[in-house]
Amino acid sequence: MTLSLALLTSCGNSSPEGEDQITPVTRSSIDLILNNPRNTRIKSLPLDRESKRAFALERAADLVIEFTGEGRFDIGVGRIKSADGNSYRDPHYFSLGELVEFFDDQRHKDLIVVNFHKAAWIRDSLESDIARINDYFRDRGYRRVVICQFTSSSRPIHSDTKFRQ
């Protein structure tokens, strides 16, 4: 279980036993943190300003993708599998070369967010990966590229590049 940003919520009678419910922080549940209803108590690590900005950019993005430490991309496709009665997506990873037509054919290109997996990068490698990814998406016609990184307790923004058209 990831302990990075676990969210404990207690919503009145939400649990028959009156116990706190644990909700992992995901793209869809981040709204609970950012727009906390008055009847909900939240116990979590406070998000820093940059992480709040990163999640807000993610929600506003035309496309959100992930970049692995092996230099592959997860664009949100993969087989749906089941285990122990739970369904999950087994992601399929692509190289940038395999995705040229996919990104060229996208109609909405105002903002793309690229989330680097949380493996630690060597500073030189990180900078060259950021430059390569920014160049790639500029060449595909994207107007803004934001590069963030998954970490255990925050979402640092490494790059926020706006291109002139």
Burial per residue of 6-42, b for 16 or more beta-carbon CB atoms within 10 angstroms, e otherwise: ebebbeeeeeeeeeeeeeebeeeebebbeeeeeeeee
**pLDDT tens digits, one per residue of 135-144:** 999 999 999 9
Q: List Cβ neighbours of 37 (8 Å cut-off, separation of 6 or more).
A: none
Q: What is the residue-wise DSSP string for 82-149? A: EETTEEEEEEEEE-TGGGHHHHHT-S--S-EEEEEPSSPPPHHHHHHHHHHHHHHHHHTT-SEEEEEE
Alpha-carbon 136 to chain mean position: 19
**pLDDT tens digits, one per residue of 20-48:** 455 555 666 666 656 665 555 555 566 78
| pTM beyond 0.85, yes or no | no
